[in-house]
Amino acid sequence: MYQQLSKKNTKIAVIGLGYVGLPIALEFGRIFSVIGFDIKKERVISLNNKIDPDGEVPATAFEGSDVLFTNNVEDLNGCSFHIIAVPTPVDEHKVPDLSYLESATTIIAKILKKGDYVVYESTVFFFFSEEICLPILEKQSGLLLNQDFKIGYSPERINPGDTQYTLRNVIKIVSGSDEEALENIAQIYSAIVQPGVYRASSIKVAEAAKILENTQRDLNIALMNELSLILDKMQVNTYEVIEAAGTKWNFHKYYPGLVGGHCIGVDPYYLTYKSMELGYEPYVILSGRKVNDNMAFYIARRCMQQLIAAGKNLTDSKILVMGLTFKENVNDIRNSKVADLIHELKSFGLHVDVTDPKADNKETEKEYGFSLTTVNGTKYDAIILTVPHKEYIGLDERYFLSIAKEQCLFIDIKGVFRKKITQLNYWSL
């Protein structure tokens, strides 16, 4: 397969051109011929104009990459190595939404031919590739696994907004349906990943490894969040405690905060869903998820408590929330827990303005039902810094005082202005 791709006798197909699929397509396109497919016509048009709608990939990254971006399924017919990198969210009941993955698998199944490979990058629960996707591939194509085609799983490790740890310089886990598949997949991915690949013993191991990576981080943050709830009652700053504990050689620093986005706040539910399907209730993982999911509501309540303590009338109070994206310096608002905070404050009658230099207003209105605004001379009873975008951390207390009423509350969720705010009523997790 590698030789065929190298000679450009066949092509790589990348299904899904979001924050995962686009970098993969561009990197492979520097060595092989690639067809990048997405069902969204507007995204395809933007990509053909060297514009990443997500703002993650600069225009220069498109240079020197042999990629055809398309929303036409027929363009995939010349491909033999298919990579599926579509979203895998959870629904409002925290149940995995498999529709995107099943739809992408169906698309590939209809064009699948003998000798082809299908590699999944999307986060899934273990057994998913073989129990859910494989039957679709075999039924729709009439072909048999390992006899006619191969499958594999190589979990994405892309961290949005991170320019240090990228696709090219982070070890890639690879797996295959048999030894031949594993070696071919490993060889192909090794062409674009400088540190090389890790060969997992099975597809199931690779699937579980991906979920473990994010579940571990989720639980560590949950521990810090729960610690912050306890320390807040003792009027002790959590960040000071973490910095003190961090002087020990084997202490790992994690910090409290809102845990959202499409990975850490979602992937553990894929593990818990499969666990309960197998008859085991994962108490620790679910407990961590409960703590993290409730942090937005806790912050909202603490905000209101402190406003009341300052003699403020809640229904007359104006709140400024600075930041909506799920993390700093990205434009992605998916599964942002800041939205939970905003809705909770609004449910008690508070007037809430929301700013974010990265987020798109139309997308915000569509996703959450409220609009972004700008600060135009409004004075606020509380300022909540939720996302430390670079545009925000460059500000100083003089700016915040200029938009603050008397006895204004300053809530610094990530603690970036700790020891820098002296005149406002400061609080952080």
End position of a domain, from candidates 150, 173, 201: 201
Number of domains in the chain: 2
C-alpha span between 342 and 329 (Å, rounded): 20
- Mark whether 29 and 154 lie in a shared domain: yes
Q: What is the pLDDT of residue 165?
A: 84
Residue 126 has pLDDT above 80, yes or no: no
Same domain, 88 and 233: no
Regarding whether 319 and 269 lie in a shared domain, the answer is yes
Residue 415 tokens, joined: 């603690």
Both 195 and 254 in one domain: the answer is no
409: left (phi over 0), alpha (psi -120 to 50) or beta: beta
Last residue of a domain, one of 146, 168, 201: 201
Residues 6 or more apart whose CB falls under 8 angstroms from that of 293 comprise 259, 265, 337
pLDDT digit string, tens, across residues 258-309: 998 888 888 999 899 989 989 999 999 999 999 999 999 999 999 999 999 9
pLDDT of residue 219: 97
397 found inside a domain = yes
Q: How far is Cα 82 from Cα 317, in angstroms, rounded to an integer?
A: 54
DSSP symbol at 165: S
Residue 210 located in a structural domain: no
Which token pair is 39? Answer: 């069902």
Q: What percent of the chain has pLDDT over 70?
A: 100
289 and 256 part of one domain? yes
CB 410 within 8 A of CB 383: yes
CATH code, 236? 3.40.50.720
Mean pLDDT is highest, among 53-67, 127-141, 212-226, for: 212-226
Bridging pattern class, strands 404-412 and 380-385? parallel
Please check whether residues 263 and 312 belong to one and the same domain.
yes
Active site residue 408: no
Based on the fold, state whether residues 159 and 84 are members of the same structural domain: yes
Write down the mean pLDDT value for the chain. Answer: 94
pLDDT tens per residue across span 181-192: 999 999 999 999
What is the reported pLDDT for 233?
94
Six token digits for residue 336: 């942002």
Cβ-proximal residues to 142 (8 Å cutoff; 6+ apart), any chain: none
Enclosing domain of residue 257: 220-427
Are residues 117 and 70 both part of a single domain? yes
Sheet with 351-355, side-by-side order of all strands = 351-355, 318-322, 380-385, 404-412, 425-427
Same structural domain, 58 and 189: yes
Q: Is 316 a domain residue?
A: yes
Strand order of the β-sheet with 34-37 is 67-70, 34-37, 11-15, 79-84, 117-120, 150-153
Report yes or no on 215 lying in a domain.
no
Identify the pLDDT of residue 162. 77
From 146, 174, 201, the end of a domain falls on 201
Across the range 64-91, mean pLDDT stands at 94
Clarify whether residues 308 and 400 are in a common domain: yes
Any domain includes 212? no
Find all residues with CB under 8 Å of 115, minimum gap 6, and list them.
1, 80, 148, 149
193 and 251, same domain (yes or no): no
Q: How many CB atoms sit inside 10 A of residue 227's CB?
A: 18
Q: What's the farthest any 2 CA atoms get from each other in the chain?
A: 74
Report yes or no on 213 lying in a domain.
Answer: no
Query: Could you report the per-residue pLDDT of 373-387, keeping only the tens digit for each?
Result: 998 888 999 999 999
- Mark out the alpha helices in 251-387 (DSSP H runs): 267-277, 283-309, 337-347, 361-368
- 118 touches 149 (CB < 8 A): yes
The pLDDT of 23-29, averaged and rounded, is 96
Please tell me whether residues 236 and 179 are part of one structural domain: no
Would you say 114 and 143 are in contact if contact means Cβ atoms under 8 Å apart?
Answer: yes
Q: For 153-196, write each residue's pLDDT tens digit.
A: 999 988 777 778 888 999 999 999 999 999 999 999 999 999 99
Residue 368, pLDDT > 90, answer yes
> Alpha-carbon distance 405 to 220, whole Å?
37
- Say which of 133, 263, 303, 408 is annotated catalytic: 263
Structural domain includes residue 208: no
CA distance 117 to 391: 44
**What local confidence, expressed as pLDDT, does residue 313 receive?**
94
Burial of 368 (0-12, 13-18, 19+ CB in 10 A): middle
Structure tokens at 397: 């207390």
Tell me whether residue 257 is in a domain: yes
The pLDDT, as a whole number, for residue 215 is 95
Percent above pLDDT 90 for the chain:
84
Q: Is the pLDDT of residue 55 over 90?
A: no
